[in-house]
Amino acid sequence: MDCSYKKIKDQLLSDIIPVNDRDLNEQTIRQRLLTRPRSEPSFSIDPEPNNYQRHLSASNLYDQADDLIDTVLEVPTKCVEQAKEVGKRVVQYVVDHSHLPQWLLDNEFLISGHRPPMPSFKKCFASIFRLHTETVNIWTHLLGTLFFIITAIYFISRPSSEVHIEKKLIFGAFFLGAILCLLCSTLYHTLYCHSPKISKFFSKLDYCGIAFLIIGSIIPLLYYQFYCEFGTKVAYLTFIGVLGIGCIVVSMWDKFSSAHYRIYRALLFITFGVFGFIPSCHYMIQFGVEHAFKVGAIQYLLLVAALYLIGACLYAARIPERLAPGLFDIWFQSHQLFHVFVVVAACVHYYGICVLSHNQTTVFGDCRNILSSNTVPIASIIS
């Protein structure tokens, strides 16, 4: 680096200093000036009166050129040094998959960009603002959490004349499930590199949050789809509650959070979601397909189910990183896509239950209208 710097500097000086003065350095000029008799006037004794002035001018020019070149070349040199320092910090901050300890190994198709063990809560939370394999996972669900918190506050704070307290409680169950799910996921992806103990604890909370989201999503559906059938609502709510508790119990099992059980985790919650769809199938059979789509907002529920299913399948199969290991280490990996599908599905579900609630008030009216002869009978669906 020093040799290159000197070569560049000498080349620039040779271009700036006049040709006749290239062999004249500062030391030679000063020596000649000092050996010149001070008492002799330059205009009468000096046979070449302009030589010293020329030498002095060349010396000043050399000094100025030297300072200017140092100043100009100093900027890129400092930039290179700073870039090297930043590069060292980045390299030290993230590691390859092969350098991770056993308890941090999860997806072997993500080759680089992993956070090493960080036994400090402060450093873990500071890593939210740095780029690594978990950055997008953190921010997708963090922004989703903030969105549903703000929406819940707005919805619940509306006056009772606009939104009845009963409706606030029903929607509150959904908001609570969505917020707990997304918040637990955010905390897990932020803190899982802290230590094995913290990683296991927040991994369990992450899976419990999924169960909370499913339960919270089904409550509004049961309430409005079987608005006048109290026994049916209680039966389905009990059934879903037992399944949800079962998922939470299994999620608290240490072995269940290991990478080996990735597919089983996905299948468990897919099964839970499918069972959660049974009440809606019952609703379509009882009131008719046309009624279910026009009034019951079943189309939104089907879209939600498709989004969850696609996201879970991508997560279980680890696509697309399986197809090109190392290419999706930071962006567009399967877990990130799964997070996006979850947030979008939760938003669609919220809109769907808003439509269902509105229809219950404006179309359903009282229970006699819901069970009127205008609905399609079961026999017509079977035939």
Cα(383)–Cα(381) distance, rounded to whole angstroms?
Answer: 6
**Mean pLDDT, the chain, integer:** 77
List pLDDT tens digits, range 57-78.
Answer: 555 655 655 566 566 556 656 6
Element (H, E) at 265: helix 262-276
**End-to-end Cα distance, the chain:** 86
Tokens of 25: 């350095």
- Give residue 297's pLDDT: 87
- Give residue 288's pLDDT: 84
List pLDDT tens digits, range 138-157.
Answer: 999 999 999 999 999 999 99
Distance of CA 272 to the CA centre of its chain: 26
Choice between 303 and 272, residue whose per-residue pLDDT is larger: 303
- Give residue 94's pLDDT: 84
**Identity of the highest mean pLDDT range in 58-72, 166-180, 199-213, 254-268:** 166-180
Average pLDDT of span 303-307? 90
- Give residue 193's pLDDT: 93
Average pLDDT of span 292-302? 87
Task: Tell me the residue type at 353.
Answer: I
Annotated binding-site residue? 189: yes
The answer to whether the CB of 294 falls within 8 A of the CB of 362 is no
Tokens of 81: 């040094």
Q: Which residues pair with 95 in a beta bridge?
A: 114
Average pLDDT of span 275-299? 85
CA-nearest of 346, 361, 376, 342 to 223 is: 361
Token pair 């079977």 in the structure block, residue? 382
Annotated binding-site residue? 335: yes
List pLDDT tens digits, range 78-115.
Answer: 655 665 454 444 445 788 888 899 888 888 899 999 99
Residue 24: phi and psi, rounded to 5, are -100, 115
Task: Tell me the residue type at 38.
Answer: R
What's 72-126 look like in SS3? HHHHHHHHHHHHHHHHHHHHHHCECHHHCCHHHCCCCCCCCCECCCCCCHHHHHH
Decide: helix, strand or coil at residue 39.
coil
| Protein fold of 118-382 | Rhopdopsin 7-helix transmembrane proteins (1.20.1070)
Decide: helix, strand or coil at residue 266.
helix
Q: Domain map of the chain by residue range? A: 2-93, 118-382
Cα(334)–Cα(318) distance, rounded to whole angstroms?
Answer: 5
Print burial letters for 192-220: b (CB count within 10 Å at least 16), e (below 16).
Answer: bbbbeebbbbbbbbbbbbbbbbbbbbbbb
The answer to whether the CB of 145 falls within 8 A of the CB of 128 is no
List pLDDT tens digits, range 336-376.
Answer: 999 999 999 999 999 999 998 888 777 655 564 544 544 44
Task: Tell me the residue type at 186.
Answer: T
Percentage of the chain modeled with pLDDT above 70: 68
Cα(316)–Cα(318) distance, rounded to whole angstroms?
Answer: 6
CA-nearest of 319, 311, 331 to 136 is: 331
Average pLDDT of span 206-231? 87
